[in-house]
Amino acid sequence: MNIGVYPGTFDPITHGHTDIITRSLRVFDKVIVAVAPNPGKSPLFDVAERVEMVKLATKDLARVEVETFEGLLVHFVRQRGARAVIRGLRAISDFEHEFQMALINRKLDQTVESVFFMPREEYSYLTSSIIKEVAGLGGTVKDFVHPEVAKRLRQRLRRHTP
């Protein structure tokens, strides 16, 4: 089976991420969304909440599994019998960082390939941080995230506002 792993922090998952998952399902038999705890990014949602939101946002997509992983990505990819790391390329500015990650991952494990998908143009400027900023300032994010994610963002950020 041709398995791809789509790693990320997903704090929270956006329509840009689900667009990448949908596209990668055209190429892979199964896509494992691998949610990294990434404490260095001080996530707004804990890893269990992020996994839950990814599951909600992908519930209508067959052949998608959602897991969390610790440690090196290439180890996880191997353990799952996957062939490739899936990443999204939104703009030229993503390229340098993605190039570095792909080469490091290749150095760590020659058998793991990195493949890149381009999201729909209207999602090319999205990041999880920008969505948190908009939601935190009372803006609407319904066009960018699953309705349940939008609700959780409102609840969480309301609690955070003094």
- d(C-alpha 25, C-alpha 88), whole Å: 13
- Phi-psi region at 10: left, alpha or beta (left = phi > 0; alpha = psi -120 to 50): left
In the complex with ligand COA, which residue's Cβ is closer, 137 or 162? 137
Cβ–Cβ under 8 Å, residues 19 and 43: no
In the complex with ligand COA, which residue's Cβ is closer, 70 or 162? 70
Give the per-residue contact string, 40-79, with ligand COA (x = CB under 6 A; - = no). --------------------------------xx------
From the list 9, 22, 24, 58, which residue makes contact with ligand COA (rule: CB under 6 A)? 9
The strand ranges marked E within the chain are 3-8, 30-35, 64-68, 84-88, 113-117
**Per CB under 6 A, does 4 bind ligand COA?**
no
Query: Interface with ligand COA by CB under 6 A: which range of 44-52, 57-65, 122-130, 133-141?
Result: 122-130
